Structure 1
Amino acid sequence: MMNRRHFISAAALTGMGAASAMASCATKPSTTTTYHSIPKLKLSLDRIVKETVGLRPFRASGPRIAKEELGSKTIVHNYGHGGSGWSLSWGTGNMARELVLSTGERKIAVIGCGTVGLATARLLQEKGYEVTIYTKDLPPNVTSSVATGTWSPASRVCDPKVAKPEFKQVWEEATRFSFRTFQFLLGINDIAMWVDEYNVFPERQLAPTDLAQGGEAFHLSGLIPERQELSAKQHPFKDKYVSWRSNMMFNIPSYLHHQMSTFVMLGGKIKVHEIKKLEDLDALSEKCIVNCMGLGAKPIFNDEELTPISGQLACLIPQPEINYKLTTKGASIIARKDGIYLGGNGLVGNWDTTPKREYTEKFVDVLQQLMKEMKS
């Protein structure tokens, strides 16, 4: 057993820094005259079948992707993605894999069974590693299961006032790798798919910069289509500023099931085993450990920078004809196979995962008014 004092003092070291200046998403006038016929959502509180609160693991300097030696163990960190964990999971997983490659170890422990942990474990398997995932809970009882599940690689990924300029290049590399990987998952049981995405506002919007509203520090052109501003003749909404683009969406339950099933089919092991302190890591048989714990890393690695940003979702009974995403002032709609999710809030520093009915009522009120004002 290693010296506890040495192990804990080493764990206090922080990882790499992050981010740079903000850039807003480009919006250009539509080059077509296509009319967007958008089916109305059936909205009422009695159609809400589930309410959840997810906690996004935010670090002002950006995700921690770094390697450190703690006693006899090598720890590779891959956590703190804010609201971009689903989108960046493959890209930062690849970076973590490169750090693992440098250790020479072949048996690897991955801590965490969310989207980041599963992607990292799968990437390690591709290089022939023997991987065991250790996790406190399994999906759907993980934070990744209560996310919105859309392509948003810059959402709350860092605070540009704190992050280091060089993080932008790291982010771009991770974003491009993730995007390429998701293209290979399209068409597999709809675990990833393209959908129409609308922004509907009474006034012109810039890219959000406030963390509570999904602040985005970066924009990378050339991956998904840029937003197009629609004229009043092209949409049924009352609001003046309406934009549209195609975007990727992840059907979370089927995606996580696919990832876990593939991981196990290829020889991976999943052990329900909670890590509460550094000594629990020391007790694992693997000498190289990849930390994908998200917010769970805060107490174990003394990461004072890591903080939650909570977001509530209310799930409506599915409507087969509703297959779009929509964002308006005060609420959003994300239509997935398992339900239609209403959301739109973010509370920085909030650890409470108890849903508040008043938030759901606000989402429903805002969207009911939007639907009421839509042209037939």
Structure 2
Amino acid sequence: MTAGERVVVVGAGVAGLTTAVVLAETGASVHVIAEQVPGVTSLAAGAMWGPYLVEPKDKVDQWGQRSLEVFRGLAEDPATGVRLTSGIEASRTAEAAPDWATTLPGFRPCEPKELPAGFTAGYRFTVPLIDVPVYLDYLLRRLRAAGGTVEQQRLATLADAGPASVIVNCTGLGSHDLVPDPDLRPIRGQHVVVTNPGLTEFFSEDTGSSPDLLCFYPHGDAVVLGGTAIDGEGDLAPDDKAAVGILARCAEIEPRLAQARVLEQRIGARPTRSAVRVEAEYREDGIVVVHNYGHGGAGVTLSWGCADEVRTLAMEP
């Protein structure tokens, strides 16, 4: 890839838009093609920076740290939807803090009096929270300012994205059929958005591999409550029973949420595989396809690091 070279990015979730921004700002002529702009799975994200059940660990650490660096800079501009927010991650079993949390500003173990009933350990730290609808709009504006273009279209194959010297595949679950990649599977996630009764800090429970998550992330006048992680389920229809459960779990920790008015439900299917795939494929027709998908629930967390690696792969001779 050289300056001015045509590059097509397929997919307009957080992975696709971030990658498109990085490539366009490098000087490539970037065209984004996606069935949904922005992608619905990314729109449903919470989103708090933090690696979430995703491999390979060495790469994830590298990608995540790069993204953290970028998000800290973006948090200086309220228009990005990124804010540095303090809060608590807690556990009902006495477990050590995750490695990624220990290096965050303000990290310290919680005093017992800071923890909700039933919790045995917890950690306080400051981390980027991303108001995803606002943030994706920011990425679209930044892409267009760099000369990038966007087309809403469903592709039957990646080859249909041409002509281009480089095609970047950021289609998430769409890669199951487009690549094809049988290792890819959905994990359904659901959040409930409610009016903010005055919360300024986040709360997240380390629930491990449970399908029932517990977290709340304040974003100004609204709070995003989570959540679910149902492995193998890709249906995006609202589940009122699950929403009631989410509200109940969150209100048990923060009683003020019990009276909050529900604004909407956000449902997405996390594109999950045994390991995130960021690699180049050199096809017989001379086109380079760079894959960037399979981020599971860590798409936002890894977005800038993965985009930088895509840029490196795309520029290799």
Asked if these proteins are the same fold (TM beyond 0.5), I'd say yes
Select 2:53's aligned residue among 156, 161, 168. Answer: 156
Q: State the Cα deviation string for residues 147-200 of structure 1 (Å, max 9, x = none).
A: 111101x21223xxxxxxxx4433333223222222221221252111122134
Question: What is the Cα deviation at residue 278 of structure 1?
Answer: 4.1
Q: How does 1:141-220 map to 2 (within 5 A)?
A: 142-152=40-50, 154-158=51-55, 167-189=56-78, 191-206=81-96, 219-220=99-100
Larger Rg over CA atoms: 1
> Percent sequence identity over matched residues?
21
Select 2:20's aligned residue among 113, 121, 124. Answer: 121
Q: Quote the residue 1:270 is aligned against.
A: 150
Aligned residues: 248
Structure 1 unaligned spans of 5+? 1-99, 159-166, 208-217
RMSD (CA atoms): 2.6
Q: CA 1:221–1:151 in 2, change beyond 3 Å: closer, same or farther?
A: closer
Q: Which amino acid aligns with 2:104?
A: I
Q: State the Cα deviation string for residues 190-212 of structure 1 (Å, max 9, x = none).
A: 521111221344442456xxxxx
Q: Distance in 2 between matches of 1:129 and 1:246?
A: 35
Q: Quote the residue 2:306 is aligned against.
A: none
Q: For residue 99 of structure 2, give the secondary structure of its aligned residue in structure 1.
A: coil
Q: CA 1:371–1:304 in 2, change beyond 3 Å: closer, same or farther?
A: same
Q: Which amino acid aligns with 2:129?
A: M
Which has the larger strand fraction? Answer: 2
Which has the larger helix fraction? Answer: 2
Q: How does 1:327-346 map to 2 (within 5 A)?
A: 327-328=204-205, 330=212, 331-337=214-220, 339-346=222-229
TM-score, scaled relative to structure 1: 0.60
Q: CA 1:177–1:236 in 2, change beyond 3 Å: closer, same or farther?
A: closer
Q: Distance in 2 between matches of 1:200 and 1:107?
A: 47
Question: What is the Cα deviation at residue 318 of structure 1?
Answer: 2.7
Q: State the Cα deviation string for residues 4-63 of structure 1 (Å, max 9, x = none).
A: xxxxxxxxxxxxxxxxxxxxxxxxxxxxxxxxxxxxxxxxxxxxxxxxxxxxxxxxxxxx
Residue 347 in structure 1 maps to residue 230 in structure 2: yes
Q: Quote the residue 1:6 is aligned against.
A: none
Q: Distance in 2 between matches of 1:144 and 1:273?
A: 18
Q: Distance in 1 between matches of 2:250 and 2:66?
A: 35
Residue 365 in structure 1 maps to residue 254 in structure 2: no
Structure 2 unaligned spans of 5+? 257-317
TM-score, scaled relative to structure 2: 0.70
Q: How does 1:271-286 map to 2 (within 5 A)?
A: 271-281=151-161, 284-286=162-164
Paired residues of 1:105 and 1:287 also in contact (CA < 8 A): no
Question: What is the Cα deviation at residue 295 of structure 1?
Answer: 0.7
Q: How does 1:27-176 map to 2 (within 5 A)?
A: 100=1, 106-139=5-38, 142-152=40-50, 154-158=51-55, 167-176=56-65
